[in-house]
Structure 1
Amino acid sequence: QVLRRESPRNEMYNIVVASPELWRPREPSPAADDSSASSGIAADDDDLLGAPPPELDAANEFVDEEAHILMPDDTTPLHAFRGQFAALRAEPCSEEVWSRFVALVDEMTAEAAVIVKLPVRSDGRSSGNRTAIDPGDAKAIQSLYRRNRRRAVRLILSGEGQSCEVAVPLVEEHFRRVWAPSTCDTDIFPQVDGRDPVPMGPFQCADVSKRLGKFENTAPGDDGLTYRHWKKLDPECTVLTEVVNMCLRYKRVPPAWKKAVTVLIYKKGAKEDLGNWRPISLSRTLYKLYVGCVANRLTAWLTTNRVLSQCQKGFLPADGAFEHVHTLNRVLEKARTHAADKCVAWLDVSNAFGAIPHPALEAAIQSSGAGADFLEAVRDIYDGASSSVSVAGGMTADIPVRSGIKQGCPLSGLLFIMAIDPVVALLQGESADHKVLAFADDLCLVANSTTELQVSIDAAHHGLSKLGLQLNAAKCASLHISGRRPVGVRDTRFLLQGSPLRPLAEGEAATFLGAQVGFNIVPPLSTLAEIIDIGLRIARSMLAPWQRIDALKTFFYPSTVHLQRLGVFPKTDWARVDSILRPEIKKTFYLPQEASGEYLYGSTKRGCCGIRVLAEDSDIAAVDSAFKLFTSPDQRVAEDAAEHAEEVTKRRISKEPSIHEVGAYLSGEDEGVFREARGTGVASVWSRARNASKRLNVKWSLDGAPSVTHEGTVMGRKQRRAVMRTIRDTLRLKRSDALIAKPDQGRAVECVAAHAASSHFLREGDFTRFADWRFVHRARLNLVPLNGSSSWRAGDRRCRRCGYNTESLSHVVDHCMRYTALYLARHNAIVTRIKKAASTKFEVLSENQALGDQGLRPDLVLKKGPNIYVVDVTVPFDNRMEAFKAAAAIKNEKYEQLRVDLAAQHRCDAVVVPFIVGALGSWDPANDGFMRVLCSRSYANLMRKLCVSETISITRDIYIEHLSGVRQ
């Protein structure tokens, strides 16, 4: 059953019901609209009340299928295929076994589509148009966000993407030409011997599960199955690992995986020119999982063996974009400070990914020493590959892909940088300074003279031509800066095969890896306004509240990190963005303004919401970026960083600094040699790091291996990728601890912080109604309107229903005798969950039956082998962890004699299990010992979510009934 509730802003939200066998909505009844039924409620708190929602049409139903697919023994219907795949793997390799495997994969794929209830898909030949979605339609945009977060956010920010209007026959003709076989000069690839090949042994389930978890739930292939579907169908990836390993063993993929659909994404320029549309390949998710696992191994092999030029940063696990931008800015800075000439050219490779010949990919693999097995696996991926192209007018026929790589394939980017690496190495040569900055097909040439740059441009053209790639002079640009007087830009023309490159003038900028680069350029103020606008658009969108928070965390906040690394805006600007977004975020959580900020910005590990503080992040990014330069695997970058930091320190203290003094400078030290020193007034990555380190209390040590220390945690070269995360998490935990220490708003949060399951719904709203979301955050901070909820509230503080002297939240949801039946229903829902989980492994000896001489009635007595478990559920109020411990102690004392009697009667061990869930959804970590015995790990995770959400749901209904007098 899925419900709809209208919010005060006329938004509509889908409400996910935990489980149909345990949760049934009551018949709608009119709620009281006047405040007389709920004395003590302020006008601005009316959003906690509201008319019961109308039911949605069944066709619009959305239920999280995980609650129905996953069984207590950790299996789903898909696991029926596991034994069949294992049997095939045990047989010797043969064409007949491979054919049976392919048929079984097709059968499993079809069964998966049935299990997740995918609609029947047409072949899509008639039209390439997707159904238009209005971002103002709450139901539609929320549904889209569950399927494809990236597209939903793009729709909110910029509307539906433009469709290519070029006629289908012309599109087909174009791509038949582009994907036609092409050749290259393989002599450009130097042979390297002596390397161990790329490992091609079987994957472990953990490897496949980790890779699956990293995929964003974007558009699926022609089977319609998304990564989310596979995660639900095979949580531990036991079946998927069998499939992946079978493909790896045979170094082949099923024929259906080689077919893709290509969609065109508009870039810029004339829309009738198909060269201005980026082709993105949509392949089956099972295929991308397989090549994603292989890509992980290839990445590790490339970095471990230092296969590629260090000037290439694309598709590799490093902060390449920041390093390249910093390096380029250093080049331009040296022109000014060393009275030298520096010349730069940005080169554009025409359709680089689509034009790279397949022989170049094979030659790159073969010459690098990756191994014959890896080469065979890659060759099979492209052998027989085809794609249709989707445009506004429909779909082309399948077109053989005999040239280029598949954009959107996890492996293709790595293959491309391997193929282009000889050109990058040629341009860099043996120079100690950077001569080329490469990020995949983005090439930036750097030279000390006009002649040198022209030679480099010619060499790039010649090398790329050998690979079958061409440069587009119309999209290339150049910059010549002279540090000699008059300092500035020189109007020098550079040629590409006789065609001039566009020269940048003073004040003009080229966009290089997301940064504006030029001479005397000023960051446009519109950029900051655009950042604020993006945040507000998401925060005010028609997404469900948990989706809005997830969108901010996933897309908005990470998008600011690159600008923070580059120091484009000062900390005060980021603080302004925080102050503008904060009220919107509080509205999303339905929190009043007096709600503690620590709840928003504290750690999710301690029951808080984990929102980023941009002003704080700008400081952390400054420290992190400086440290990454010091510890860069690119030796040229690391050496230049050490030299530059020393230069900046020298200007500050007017003498040659020691390595200790450089570390003290970066630590923000103001004593000693820094007491009388004044700043130079010139901002740099090091001055920003100094100021940020001082505010964050970060200490630098450059004696020996560079390291930074924050709050006692020392981070060296091996932790270079964890610096930003570590500092941010430490600051979040401090805020959470400060909240927990508060006498009023921190009481329930202490219980929530004890286990991650207590806040499981923060990201996806699993099993959570919108009405529950509006209630739970206020309730956990004790900010719900009640007569006795605040010590300073004047007037009658008695319970409006039973007359108890203080109408507190704990009284209403746990102790008011008027709601005894509802308390029992909440309790029984948890008992039913336990019984269901025990159904496959336990014998139920009794359920709510009088036992022993005392006639006690434990909720369940379960037997498994030589062990008996006396299980009794209790739902205390979330009033610090001591309340949970006290409740457990009462249960243990109460059933101790019964435990002894049962152990003697059955001649086995017996134990009392107090099973505790707080009334506000706090999961007691002490339950987990029994959960490990009760069911599988995956089902235990599901059961925790269901128990928490159902408890919150019923508690909310009790509270609203108390206020309104209307049964919910």
Structure 2
Amino acid sequence: MRDTTPLHAFLNLARQLAREPCTELNWSRFVDLVDQMTAEAAIIVKLPVRTEKGASSRRSAIDPNDAQGIQTLYRRNRRRAVRVIISGEGMTCDIPTEEVEAHFRRVWAPSECDTSAYIPVEGREPMPSGPFSNAEVAKRLQKFENTAPGDDGLTYSHWRRLDPGCSILTEIINTCLRYRRVPAVWKRSVTVLIYKKGDVTDVTNWRPISLSRTLYKLYAGCIAGRLTDWLIRNRVLSPCQKGFLPADGAFEHVHTLNRSLEKARTGRADRCVAWLDISNAFGAIPHMALEAAISACGAGNGLVEIIRDLYDGASASVSVAAGTTAAIDIRSGIKQGCPLSGLLFILAIDPVVTAIQGEAELHRVLAFADDLCLIENSPEALQRSIDATRTRLRSIGPQLNAAKCASLHLSGCTPVGVRGTSFQVDGVLMKLLREGEAATFLGAQVGFNIVPRMASLAEITDIGLKIARSKLAPWQRIDALKTFFYPSTVHMQRMGTFSKSDWATIDRILRPELKKTFYLPQEASGEFLYGSAKRGGCGIRLLAEDSDIAAVDSSFKLLTSPDLRLASDAATHAKETTGRRLRKNADSTEVGLYLSGEENGVFRETRGYGGVTNVWSRARNASKRLGVSWTVDGDNTAITYDGAVLRRKQRREIMRTIRESLRLKRSETLTAKPDQGRAMECVAADLASTHFIKSGDFTRFADWRFIHRARLNLVPLNGSSSWRTGDRRCRRCGYTTESLSHVVDHCMRYTALYMARHNSIVARIKKAAGTRFQVIAENTTIGTQKLRPDLVIKRGKTVLIIDVTVPFDNRMAAFEVAARSKKEKYEQLRAELASEHGAAEVVPFIVGALGSWDPNNNKFMRQLCSRKYGDLMRKLCVSDTIRSSRNIYIEHITGVRQEPDLI
């Protein structure tokens, strides 16, 4: 098939250069090609002409109460728009440019380290270095969230639109991979400063984030994906390091720490903990440490050369309120904001983490990127561990910041509580936690006798309300809640910070706002909001339900963790909890019954014992409510829910599986309802019927306000509900019952509008057929019966008789009746055309009056046009029909003509 994407003109040359020998001349030709393509891309997407660096780099402020401004920003950069809605525009750094430039010239100056800590590992297969497939590049591009672009102004969404199949992008990335180098302009970036906390005049309290070109980050992202897979497959990193890896590391670490403190409290033992802060962690890693770490771990010389090139000649200018610094060479440190930065950092400090842990059976260190937590059984041991960590870190570059470190000494000996033992970093005392005080570790509050801040529950609610009440378009509000708000609560649900009833309170507060977003009255069925998006629902999470699912999911992940220390301790802890409940040593079978919520047999006999609250008791209560059953048997541990058995290999699918199953049940409940479920049964039949809920494509605000309440039969009409009293007749034609089906499908007053709606669908079919079919007849009499089908088209020896109908969405039976009547009507004509041309078929093309797409249309769509155009046409037909039906309804209510062209 001929490539017609906007950048197709560059594809042949890109493919040619990708197959040429690796020479400097060919590299120069490739760089020129990339420059030309980038410039052409900027023209195609109509980027504004970028001005030269001026005196100020301050972005124009976005007012969250300006609907047009915040909606435009959300389309361009969702994350920033939500940040503006929740907390306003971020602070800008007012430190003088000269001071900032001097600081970063010092930070990025060349530095050295002792590379003897990186001990080479033999026998590992190096990281794969072959070319990336189109699918790999497309998957990586799709994962990227639209954020601030580099100096070329091109975002990820631009590239997705310009090269949807990633044909030319794949050629470019593979050429860079083959040469193990990138164009020099890709190495230039702008660094923005994000305020952390502390004194705003101290530049070290601002986090530097690099804004690079999206092509550079796509290339680095593809390599990062491959490197991640290699690190996990070869077990390269210490299992104590969880940062930047695809696992529930934050939850596992917090659980491990809490478990260690619990053991001390209940076992009459001491536990000493130190939370260490690394000054300028990423910026303190010398480049020679990166190369040594990659070489020693066995990733191969290819990756060493790739990373060396990325930093060779790299430079950045730092943007502050007063302007932008001159370009500064980055000759040390890791660029934050690069997709590879996290992986490079954890590789660089892995010898430190491995050395601290040693051969100990229990965790002595918990690492999450640069967050380090040391655990020892005595004050002396903890101080030695702190000193060793400081020394080892300093040998490779980073240093500890004593002012931001904290410690806790908990004793289980009588009196149980916190001891006042102090610890030092380089002679400087660390903050000592007292009873009731907490340290924030990976988003969780950790300490002794601490009480969860109810203020944080109010803060969560406030964030949800701010988004739900914002000036975003309604579909943007739903997307923001689903993308940013609900996922942000999962970590706290895993921790069990708040009870299910607390989460239910937030659900109750948000529910009216969600209904307002869909312009639904409060009597609208909640199943519509919380039903499956695959069945016409909105797919919004229920936080109370999610808290139960998270409890089950978290317990299963502990028992099946790839961290063997954690998995072993989790199994022991589960047995202890079950044994406490049964008042005896429990076996694996009894653990499974306990987690399943079993109340009979021996559990009935010991009811009232073992009333401890922990991760396992929460899982037990949640499993009982959800109907989850457990089998606990080492590597064969599994849970069963709704007939599905989920084992270790499916450990990352548990939340999604259970949540979607519950959503589907709610959707079934909705479609079974005699009033609100009639149209929704038709809507649920095909995803095209609800395509606009996610992005509002081809949908006016007026259509949005109408369609959801119309599909639930909640529009105000005289005869819309059987319980209404008074005059139920049609206010325009006097028909017995003024129902929605009468108004949008049967009232003779609007015959012309019905015909226009019908004809718009016919026109779209005719347009789509133009490239593959010959139109024999259009709305003209044909055959011995003198029938007038909408279209008769021919391809080869096959003739298709197409007749469009727009029945009311009164369950799928209405569509089936409509299709059957069309086939019966045109059967004789079909036989006549078949005898004349060879083969003929009647195609009833059905779209419900409320925009329900009949899935039986899809077979014909595959014949009619390409898959891509077919997807577009489905959306257009649905949206066109909704628009027309809304106009008919509003004209019926107001008497004001909505489509003047039809007068």
> Smaller-chain TM-score range?
over 0.9
Aligned to 1:547: 476
Displacement of 1:559 = 0.9
Deviation string, structure 1 residues 551-599 (Cα, Å, up to 9, x no partner): 1111111111111100011111111111111111111111111111111
2: distance between equivalents of 1:536 and 1:307? 44
Among 576, 584, 609, which residue is 1:647 paired with?
Answer: 576
Matched, 1:882 2:808: no
1:919 aligned residue (841, 849, 861): 849
Q: Aligned pair 1:811/2:737, yes or no?
A: no
Corresponding residue to 1:792 among 723, 729, 739: 723
Aligned to 1:249: 178
* Higher normalized contact order (CA 8 Å, seq sep 6+, divided by chain length): 1
Counting only pairs closer than 5 Å after superposition, residues 202-241 of structure 1 correspond to structure 2 as: 202-241=131-170
Q: Distance in 1 between matches of 2:149 and 2:788?
A: 52
Alignment of 1:736-755 (within 5 A): 736-755=667-686
1:759 aligns with 2:690: yes
- 2:828: which partner in 1? 897
Instruction: Give the 5 Å matches for 1:129-140.
Output: 129-140=58-69
The match for 2:653 among 713, 722, 729 is: 722
The residue aligned with 1:860 is 791
2:630 alignment partner in structure 1: 700
1:291-302 maps to which residues of 2 (within 5 A)?
291-302=220-231
Question: What pairs with 1:359-370 in structure 2 (closer than 5 Å)?
Answer: 359-370=288-299
1:660 to 2:589 alignment: yes
Equivalent residues in 2 for 1:404-443 (5 A)? 404-443=333-372
Give structure 2 stretches of 5+ with no counterpart: 899-903
Contact 2:593 2:630 in 1 (8 A): yes
Q: Does 1:341 align with 2:270?
A: yes
Instruction: Check conservation: 2:768, 2:865, Cα contact below 8 A.
Output: yes
Per-residue CA deviation, residues 684-713 of structure 1 (Å, 9 max, x unaligned), is: 001111111111111010135111111111
Aligned residue number for residue 178 of structure 1: 107
Report the counterpart of residue 958 of structure 1 in structure 2.
888
CA deviation map 1:106-162 (0-9, x unaligned): 222222222222222223433110001111111111111111111111111111100
Cα-Cα RMSD: 1.6
What residue is the counterpart of 1:686 in the other structure? 616
Q: How does 1:845-856 map to 2 (within 5 A)?
A: 845-856=776-787
From 726, 733, 756, give the equivalent of 2:664: 733
Query: CA-to-partner distance for each residue in 1:78-131, whole Å, 9 max, x for gaps?
Result: 233323322322333332222222222222222222222222222343311000
State the shift of 1:904 in Å: 4.1
SS at 1:910 equivalent: strand
Give the counterpart letter for 1:944 in structure 2.
R
Shift of residue 541 of structure 1?
1.0
Give the CA deviation at 1:865: 4.3
Q: Specify the code of the residue in structure 1 equivalent to 2:675.
A: D
Question: Which residue of structure 1 lines up, in the alignment, with residue 901 of structure 2?
Answer: none
Distance in 2 between residues matched to 1:892 and 1:261, nearest whole Å: 65
Q: CA deviation at 1:73?
A: 7.9
Q: What does residue 478 of structure 1 align with?
A: 407
Q: State the distance in 2 between where 1:185 and 1:309 align.
A: 20
CA distance in 2, matches of 1:620, 1:219: 35
Partners of 2:591 and 2:17 lie apart in 1 by: 63
Higher mean displacement: 405-414 or 734-743: 405-414
Asked if 1 retains the 8 angstrom alpha-carbon contact of 2:581 and 2:611, the reply is: no
The secondary structure found in structure 2 opposite 1:862 is strand
User: For residues 133-192 of structure 1, what are the alpha-carbon distances to aligned partners after superposition, in whole Å with 9 as ceiling and x for unaligned?
Assistant: 111111111111111111111111111100000111221121121111211111110101
User: CA distance change for structure 1 residues 151 and 607 in 2, over 3 Å: closer, same or farther?
Assistant: same
Q: 1:168 aligns with which of 97, 101, 109?
A: 97
Q: Cα 1:848–1:237, aligned 2, differ >3 Å: closer, same or farther?
A: farther
The answer to whether the Cα contact below 8 Å between 1:74 and 1:938 also exists between their aligned partners in 2 is no
Is 1:935 matched with 2:865? yes
1:495-506 correspondence runs (5 A): 495-506=424-435
CA drift of 1:871 comes to 2.7
CA deviation after TM superposition for structure 1 residue 513, in Å: 0.2
Displacement of 1:866 after TM fit? 4.6
Distance 1:515 1:480, change over 3 A: same
For 1:268 and 1:461, the matched residues in 2 are separated by: 23
TM-score scaled by structure 2?
0.97
CA-CA distance at 1:924 after TM superposition: 1.4
Report the CA distance between 1:283 and its aligned residue: 1.3
- Aligned pairs, number: 896
Q: Find the aligned partners of 2:382 and 2:375 in 1 and give their Cα distance.
A: 7
Distance change >3 Å, CA 854–CA 377, structure 1 → 2: farther
Q: Matches of 1:884 and 1:166 in 2, distance apart?
A: 67
Q: 1:268 is matched with which residue: 192, 197, 205?
A: 197
Counterpart Cα distance in 2 of 1:873 and 1:90: 51
In structure 2, how many angstroms separate the alpha carbons of the residues matched to 1:342 and 1:718? Answer: 35
- Contact 2:6–2:163 (8 Å) recurs in 1: no
Are positions 1:113 and 2:37 aligned together? no
CA–CA distance in structure 1, aligned partners of residues 565 and 200 of structure 2: 42
Task: Report the equivalent of 1:95.
Answer: 24
* Deviates further, 881-890 or 622-631: 881-890
Query: What's the secondary structure of 1:743's corresponding residue?
Result: coil
The 1:659/1:99 distance shift into structure 2, 3 A limit, reads: same
Q: Partner of 1:537: helix, strand, or coil?
A: helix
**CA pair 368-820 structure 1, distance change in 2 beyond 3 A:** same
Contact kept, 8 Å, 1:235 with 1:938, in 2: the verdict is no
Point out where structure 1 has 5 or more consecutive residues left out of the alignment. Answer: 1-71
- Contact kept, 8 Å, 1:860 with 1:872, in 2: the verdict is yes
Tell me: CA distance 1:382–1:235, structure 2 relative to 1, closer, same or farther (3 Å). same
Mapping of residues 501-540 of structure 1, within 5 Å: 501-540=430-469
Preserved CA contact (<8 Å) 1:74 1:937: no
Deviations 1:367-396 (A, max 9, x none): 111112222222222222111111101111
Question: What's the CA shift for 1:811?
Answer: 1.3
Distance in 2 (CA, whole Å) between partners of 1:310 and 1:703 is: 23
Partner Cα distance (2:152, 2:859) in 1: 41
Task: Measure, in 2, the Cα distance between the counterparts of 1:313 and 1:956.
Answer: 53
The reply to whether residue 187 of structure 1 matches residue 116 of structure 2 is yes
Which has the larger displacement, 847-856 or 502-511? 847-856
Match of 1:67 in 2: none
What are the Cα deviations for residues 495-526 of structure 1, in whole angstroms up to 9, with x where unaligned?
21111111111111110000011111111111
Residue 361 of structure 2 aligns with an amino acid whose one-letter code is A
> How far apart, in 1, do the equivalents of 2:331 and 2:604 lie?
67
Give the 3-state SS of the residue equivalent to 1:721 in structure 2.
coil
What percentage of aligned pairs have identical amino acids? Answer: 71
Distance in 2 between residues matched to 1:213 and 1:862, nearest whole Å: 38
Given that 2:744 and 2:849 are in contact with CA atoms closer than 8 Å, whether structure 1 keeps it comes out as yes
One-letter identity of the residue aligned with 1:636: R
Residues 809 and 163 (structure 1 numbering): CA distance in 2 closer, same or farther, change over 3 Å? Answer: same
Partner SS, residue 294 of structure 2: helix
Question: Structure 1 residues 148, 447: CA separation in 2 closer, same or farther (over 3 Å shift)?
Answer: same
Contact 1:141 1:543 (8 Å CA) reproduced: yes
Amino acid at match of 1:529: A
Superposition deviation, residue 238 in structure 1: 2.4
